[in-house]
Structure 1
């Protein structure tokens, strides 16, 4: 069996992006450690919503809470679908859109360096690269095409 570097790169990008969405969700739900433990960025929902409100200071705390919930739902869907390879092309586009949106809010609220302190643009680029692909080996997409 010949090594297909593109297929391997896609798999790596899918898993890295997927975990990159799911681990922060685990953090905001308290599974990565308590606030201030050094193991978590937020540690619970209230700290996450406070950060969301920092990125969206023009909104109310309730609106930041709703935006945080919608982002969390989107991140769970994107993360799971990317890892298993379901609708990968469109999940890649979704990943690019959500991370680019996050970057814009970070720049507007925290300054130009903020998204560069995290791999926000790397996630955007990886999502866009997945969106440009037409087939995804080792994925549910590939299994569905074979049937």
Structure 2
């Protein structure tokens, strides 16, 4: 009986060894999977780091853009003030000069029209006098 018992124990030990082998294989598979998970976690950490760095770069770029926009706004405000102060005043002066010249031209035209009327009257007088003298000259020629 001891031999039979030894055989049974040996059989059980073989089964236990097979089970332990299966467990070791499963454990190795789990170790591989955990290693894969750790690699994936490291890759995720690297990508998150890259995203954070990209976000910092983006924030820096946005800050520079905002600074430029502030400067541009300041330049635009100064340009607007310059337009209001200098250019609008110059336009007003030009418009005033234009109106003054228009008034001067109107006054000159009125003066020239009056002078032309006087000249026309003088010319009409001279033409009438010349016609009368021509008539008198012809009368004197006939009387001779």
TM-score, normalising length: structure 1? 0.20
Larger relative contact order (C-alpha < 8 A, sep ≥ 6)?
A: 1
TM-score, normalising length: structure 2? 0.21
More helix by share: 2
Structure 1 or 2, whichever has the larger Rg, is 2
